[in-house]
Amino acid sequence: MGAPVLNGPFTMPMFRTFVPRCLQPWLYVLMAFTFQFSGGLYLGTLNQMMGETALMREDLLMCLYANLAGMAIWFPLLFRMKFRFTNKTLLCASATGVMVCNLVAPYLTLLPLLWAVCFVEGICKIQGTFECMSNIQLWMTPRRDFTVFFPWLHIVILGSMQLSDLLATALMHHYHWSYMHLFMAGVMMLDLLMLTLCTRHFRLMKKMPLLGIDWLGGGLWALLLLEVAFFFCYGEYYNWLVSPVMRALGLCILFTLYICIGRMRHIRHPFLEPKMWTYRHLAPILLLIFLVEMLLASERVLEETFLEGVMHYEETVSVRLDWAALAGILGGCVFAWWWMHVRRFNYLRLLMVGILALVGYLLGYYLLMTPALHISQLYLPTALRGFGYAVLSATFMVCLEEIMTFQHFFQALSVFNMMHMVAGGVVGSALYGHGLRYLVADNVARHGGWMDHTALSRLPGDWNGVVEPFMQQMMEISLKQLYGWALYAAVLLLLLFLLYDLPVRSRLKPMPLWRRLRREMEPLVALRKKAREGTATAG
């Protein structure tokens, strides 16, 4: 993308001549990290934001999903923007958008406006990251080998998630939760200064106008994604379909889906083309990433509940697990690169390795969950989670690129990230949250029959000294049960992969048709009949 000659030495013509060539690609790597550090709101400061504002946890989580929805829906437009504007224009616009969104987000209290700001920030974030990484792709892999590009790309994406959480928690602890927004605004100003001084407008090809883009279709798909996120994010708050709000929203989701599909089938250039859905292995990939994201939603629900509700850790203590997750992510990306690029092993078995790491993560939390636990004992399961997530994310994207043509790849990447970033996570979180609420109530009913006024009056001391440890124990039991069910699901998924990969399956011969058997047997029957007649004549 950044080199005018494909087989020549790598160059970045958008840089001015005084910038050393050896430094140019690293500046874009650094800028990609800064874009990935950004966000509409930062979940590392979630509790403090809830305490200072009138926002609920569901409101803040919806900000996260709006940000991710903006990233997912913009994929089909990345190359159209690249062909229309220069690299400097796109990066300056993206950095400015991220800066403005970070400056205004902490002071917004109107939720629809806050969600809109987070949505726009997600668009700017993915556009800036794409511009940086697409221009150094030939530097990373001169042959455009995606088994190299995607593992290293996920070091930037997944590693930034952990480092951003660490930074947001540190700034919140020493200063205030809004300082993360101010810090990111300052970083974007530095990016703009670097772009102004060190780069120039350069166009690799003739400008392509933004014609034929289905803006209305893109808006409808984004609306559908946000409606699904709202439904599952607020489902527990509104008591699901018992509430008229959820019933009305369910009907709106079905109606929006109907409009999206109808528009896709009846206009000439839809946002997502019908042919994109017909690729052979697309549906299994989307289903698998959806299931994996549902399993990994335990990080946002079960882990946080355990660390806060059972262990009573502060954010500055819990965030130490991010270092273990970061180590697992780095190891997973390097392992995926070694497996796919260096050794050229089977992708299916690499997916099995990733799922096996998730099994180890869930098993580790299931076995180690106890109030006497030291946080260092959770480092290994957390590292396995990071390892499995990195392996699966990189491998799924390589598989998607393998089965798709370039015409439909970025459309499929948009749908993939709808499942990967939004749908799988929000559905999994809703299931875990509902299951936790049900199991806590069920365990209290099963084990709390002895708690009545007569029994408690016989106990010395304050009632709270008895009730609080009891409720904490019920929470621990419920969390362990949910981890057990998630472990069952992960093992089942692993067994399905093992059955699909059985070597004997590829050596099984198809049963021949009866007509074919008859044709093969006819000459043999004729020979036997002729031999029998010859024997009778001789007799």
Three-state SS letters, 371-425: CCCCHHHHHHHHHHHHHHHHHHHHHHHHHHHHHCCHHHHHHHHHHHHHHHHHHHH
* Residue at token pair 């009138």: 54
Query: What is the residue type of 407?
Result: Q
Between 6 and 386, where is the model more confident? 386
Does position 510 have pLDDT exceeding 60, yes or no? no
Answer yes or no: are the C-beta atoms of 254 and 287 closer than 8 Å.
no
Query: What is the residue type of 394?
Result: A
Mean pLDDT of the 63-91 span: 92
Mean pLDDT of the 511-522 span: 62
Amino acid 2: pLDDT: 39
Amino acid 504: pLDDT: 39
Which phi and psi (to 5°) does residue 15 adopt? Answer: -85, 145
CA 446 to chain centroid: 37
* Helix-strand-coil split of the chain, %, nearest 5: 80, 0, 20
Using alpha carbons only, what angle is made at residue 112 by residues 425 and 292, rounded to the nearest 5 degrees? 5
Amino acid 524: pLDDT: 65
Amino acid 50: pLDDT: 85
Q: How confident is the model at residue 111 (pLDDT cuts 50, 70, 90)?
A: very high
Amino acid 83: pLDDT: 87
Amino acid 5: pLDDT: 40
User: Which range is least confidently modeled, 61-65, 187-191, 464-468?
Assistant: 464-468
Tell me the Ramachandran region of residue 212: left when phi exceeds 0, alpha when psi lies from -120 to 50, beta otherwise. left
In the structure encoding, which two tokens stand for residue 1, read together?
């993308």
Amino acid 454: pLDDT: 57
Mean pLDDT of the 481-499 span: 92
Q: How far apart are CA 362 and CA 85, in angstroms?
A: 46
Amino acid 506: pLDDT: 38
User: Which range is least confidently modeled, 124-133, 327-336, 399-408, 479-488?
Assistant: 399-408
302-324 residue pLDDT tens: 998 898 888 888 888 889 999 99
Residues ≥6 apart with Cβ < 8 Å to 452: none
22-58 residue pLDDT tens: 899 999 999 999 999 998 888 878 888 887 888 888 9
Q: How confident is the model at residue 505 (pLDDT cuts 50, 70, 90)?
A: very low
Q: How confident is the model at residue 1 (pLDDT cuts 50, 70, 90)?
A: very low
- Average pLDDT across the chain, whole number: 87
Amino acid 263: pLDDT: 93
Q: How confident is the model at residue 76 (pLDDT cuts 50, 70, 90)?
A: very high
Length of the chain counted residue by residue: 539
Does position 18 have pLDDT exceeding 50, yes or no? yes
For the chain, the first-to-last Cα distance in angstroms comes to 89
- The SS3 of residue 373 is coil
In the structure encoding, which two tokens stand for residue 46, read together?
């979630």
Q: How confident is the model at residue 460 (pLDDT cuts 50, 70, 90)?
A: low
Q: How confident is the model at residue 373 (pLDDT cuts 50, 70, 90)?
A: confident
160-218 residue pLDDT tens: 999 999 999 999 988 989 999 999 999 999 999 999 999 998 877 778 888 888 999 99
* Residue at token pair 């690609």: 25
The β-bridge partners of 256 are: none
Amino acid 233: pLDDT: 94
**For helices 146-174 and 179-198, angle between their N-to-C axes, nearest 10 degrees:** 130
Q: How confident is the model at residue 363 (pLDDT cuts 50, 70, 90)?
A: very high
Does position 6 have pLDDT exceeding 50, yes or no? no
Mean pLDDT of the 14-19 span: 91
DSSP state of 423: I
Mean pLDDT of the 322-339 span: 95
Amino acid 112: pLDDT: 93
Does position 277 have pLDDT exceeding 50, yes or no? yes
Does position 478 have pLDDT exceeding 50, yes or no? yes
Answer yes or no: are the C-beta atoms of 136 and 28 closer than 8 Å.
yes
Answer yes or no: are the C-beta atoms of 71 and 97 closer than 8 Å.
no
Q: Is the pTM of this model over 0.85?
A: yes
Side-chain-side CA neighbours of residue 361 (13 Å): 29
What percent of the chain has pLDDT above 90?
A: 60
Mean pLDDT of the 373-378 span: 89
Does position 450 have pLDDT exceeding 70, yes or no? no
Tell me how far CA of residue 505 lies from CA of 351, 497, 512, in angstroms: 19, 13, 17
What percent of the chain has pLDDT above 70?
A: 89
Mean pLDDT of the 482-489 span: 94
Q: How confident is the model at residue 463 (pLDDT cuts 50, 70, 90)?
A: low
Answer yes or no: are the C-beta atoms of 262 and 240 closer than 8 Å.
no
